[in-house]
């Protein structure tokens, strides 16, 4: 049974009729239960505080590879791919992603099939199987995914930014992995990738580093009983949370201009600054304030001028890659052919606009307007699909202050 419930109030939108409950299982797994009698889909998301920053040296992509392997089979359900097949056959979908400090697994399914689906899902974290045959096949699948990413400008530019940062910081790592990093290089060093994978799982996947969100039609008490039964056997090795101190950029990595030829036709300009993570100032919301003003499209805005000059098609600004220790703020501008010929002028206008904002100081009326917009958005938001809702909450549970 659960050993703890939160005494803090769970704030929810005024128009939200769903019920919520936070519990902590005896193995220290933290869980948020959501009861929605009106839903036609049930969903769950498990967020593990282990990402590609944890990849061992010489095994880049191992955390992502583990994400793939956990889908294959378990001791309780040894038939390969039976989990994905069950979810698909019962009106659902399943996926996962690996980020710098987290790996998130999630699914949705028809409500009348949720109990068995959740049992199959739980086995990822209880007793998964990682057979030698599946290992080789899934390395090829990871390599295929990376080959696909090579044709994506977004992925290419993301990896380029990492490559330009300090080699001493884990942000520099190649997160996806491929045949070279997961098969060729380990083998040349006498390493067995499968054994390293099992070691990585056993050392890092601990219940106290996991956060689970479960969304179902049943009552909170019934959902709690189901969760306690399915997830109580996850091992808790009392693994300490990983902390990655330091900054990915020093002075030598700043004030540089990089030109890259895209796959897709068109021109884009992206300016990036390392900043203090805005989550440290979440009540003040500095990035939200700046992105609101720099990304504004009305008369007198930066974009308005660039569009009048015929140089820009679109402009967006905001916080990009971030952790609790570092972050980046970016301005991304889609350029016209004419704009491509005036990049220095565009950058000059951007910095003049930033200087204008600095000299003007923080305007209380703008801040109050953003507060009102955020409050309205929170209290009167439309319901989103359960699968997106659980992923969003699970991904943020560790960040609670």
> Of 67, 101, 196, 218, which is the active-site residue?
67
Q: What is the pLDDT of residue 2?
A: 56
In the predicted model, what is the mean pLDDT of residues 144-152?
Answer: 96
Interhelix angle 364-379/286-294, rounded to 10 degrees, is: 100
Contact 303, 311 (CB under 8 A): no
Interhelix angle 343-360/286-294, rounded to 10 degrees, is: 130
Q: Is 19 a catalytic residue?
A: no
In the predicted model, what is the mean pLDDT of residues 161-184?
Answer: 96
Q: What is the largest CA-CA distance in the chain?
A: 66
Residue 306 pLDDT level (bands cut at 50, 70, 90): very high
Residue 19 pLDDT level (bands cut at 50, 70, 90): very high
Contact 214, 224 (CB under 8 A): no
In the predicted model, what is the mean pLDDT of residues 139-165?
Answer: 96
Classify residue 339 as exposed, middle or buried by CB count within 10 Å of its CB (0-12, 13-18, 19+): buried
Backbone φ and ψ of 176, nearest 5° = -75, -45
**Closest to 349 in 3D by CA, of 305, 288, 394, 319:** 305
Strand partners, 333: 269, 315
Q: Is 67 a catalytic residue?
A: yes
> Of 138, 183, 196, 230, which is the active-site residue?
138
List the alpha helices (DSSP H) in 219-336. Answer: 220-231, 286-294, 302-308
**Closest to 68 in 3D by CA, of 86, 83, 57:** 83
Q: What is the pLDDT of residue 60?
A: 97
Q: What is the pLDDT of residue 6?
A: 53
Q: What is the pLDDT of residue 5?
A: 54
Q: Which two tokens stand for residue 96?
A: 């996962």
Q: What is the pLDDT of residue 398?
A: 83
Per-residue pLDDT reduced to its tens digit, 1-17: 555 555 668 999 999 99
Q: What is the pLDDT of residue 9?
A: 83
DSSP letter string, 39-66? -SEEEEEEEES--GGGPPTT-TTHHHHH
Q: Is the dihedral angle over the CA atoms 276, 282, 283, 288 positive or is it negative?
A: positive
Tokens 């977004």 correspond to 154
**The pairing of beta strand 41-48 with beta strand 103-110:** antiparallel
Distance (Å, whole) CA 31 – CA 224:
9
Nearby residues of 352 by Cβ (< 8 Å), 6 or more positions away: none
Mean pLDDT of the chain: 95
Distance (Å, whole) CA 235 – CA 258:
46
In the predicted model, what is the mean pLDDT of residues 143-148?
Answer: 97
Can you say how many angstroms the Cα of residue 216 is from the centroid of all Cα atoms in its chain?
A: 23
**Closest to 129 in 3D by CA, of 197, 211, 47:** 197
Tally: H helices and E strands in the chain:
15, 12
Distance (Å, whole) CA 49 – CA 55:
13
Distance (Å, whole) CA 17 – CA 383:
11
Can you say how many angstroms the Cα of residue 116 is from the centroid of all Cα atoms in its chain?
A: 27
Per-residue pLDDT reduced to its tens digit, 28-48: 999 999 999 999 999 999 999
Residue 401 pLDDT level (bands cut at 50, 70, 90): very low
What are the CA-CA distances from residue 269 to residues 2, 6, 344, 352 (Å)? Answer: 52, 46, 10, 17
List the alpha helices (DSSP H) in 295-385. Answer: 302-308, 337-340, 343-360, 364-379
Per-residue pLDDT reduced to its tens digit, 226-263: 999 999 999 999 999 999 999 999 999 999 999 999 99
In the predicted model, what is the mean pLDDT of residues 171-188?
Answer: 97
Q: Which two tokens stand for residue 170?
A: 């884990």
First to last CA, the chain: 26
Vertex 287 angle, CA 54 and 383, to 5°:
80
Strand partners, 357: none
In the predicted model, what is the mean pLDDT of residues 326-340?
Answer: 97
In the predicted model, what is the mean pLDDT of residues 159-188?
Answer: 96
DSSP conformation class of 239: P
Distance (Å, whole) CA 71 – CA 80:
8
Contact 154, 330 (CB under 8 A): no
């Amino acid at each position: 049974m659960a050993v703890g419930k939160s005494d803090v109030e769970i704030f929810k939108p005024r128009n939200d009729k769903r019920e919520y409950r936070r519990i902590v299982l005896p193995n220290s797994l933290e869980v948020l239960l959501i009861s929605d009698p009106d839903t036609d889909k049930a969903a769950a998301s498990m967020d593990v505080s282990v990402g590609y920053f944890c990849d061992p040296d010489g095994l880049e992509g191992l955390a992502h590879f583990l994400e793939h392997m956990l889908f294959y089979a378990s001791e309780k359900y040894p038939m390969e791919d039976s989990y994905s097949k069950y979810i698909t056959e019962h009106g659902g979908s399943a996926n996962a992603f690996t980020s710098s400090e987290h790996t998130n697994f999630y699914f949705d399914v028809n409500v009348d099939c949720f109990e068995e689906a959740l049992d199959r899902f739980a086995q990822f974290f209880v007793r998964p199987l990682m057979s030698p045959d599946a290992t080789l096949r899934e390395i090829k699948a990871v390599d295929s995914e990376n080959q696909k990413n090579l044709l994506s400008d977004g992925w290419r530019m993301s990896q380029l930014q990492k490559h330009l940062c300090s080699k001493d910081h884990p942000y520099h790592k190649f997160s996806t992995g491929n045949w070279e990093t997961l098969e060729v290089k380990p083998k040349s060093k006498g390493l067995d990738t499968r054994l390293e994978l099992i070691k990585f799982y056993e050392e890092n996947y601990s219940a106290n580093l996991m956060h689970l969100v479960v969304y179902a039609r049943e009552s909170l008490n019934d959902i709690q009983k189901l969760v306690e039964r399915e997830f109580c056997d996850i091992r808790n090795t009392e693994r300490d949370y990983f902390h990655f101190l330091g900054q990915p950029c020093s002075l030598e990595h700043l004030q540089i201009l990089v030109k890259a030829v895209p796959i897709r036709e068109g021109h884009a300009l992206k300016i990036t600054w390392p900043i203090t993570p805005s989550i440290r100032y979440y009540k003040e919301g500095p990035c939200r304030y700046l992105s609101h003003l720099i990304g504004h499209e009305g008369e007198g805005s930066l974009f308005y001028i660039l569009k009048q000059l015929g140089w820009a098609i679109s402009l967006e600004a905001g916080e990009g890659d971030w952790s609790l220790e570092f972050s980046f703020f970016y301005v991304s501008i889609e350029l016209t052919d004419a704009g491509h010929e005036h990049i220095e002028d565009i950058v000059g206008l951007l910095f003049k606009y930033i200087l204008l904002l600095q000299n003007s100081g923080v305007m209380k009326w703008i801040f109050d307007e953003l507060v009102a917009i955020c409050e309205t958005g929170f209290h009167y938001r439309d319901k989103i699909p359960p699968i997106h809702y659980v992923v969003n909450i699970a991904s943020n549970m560790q960040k609670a202050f």
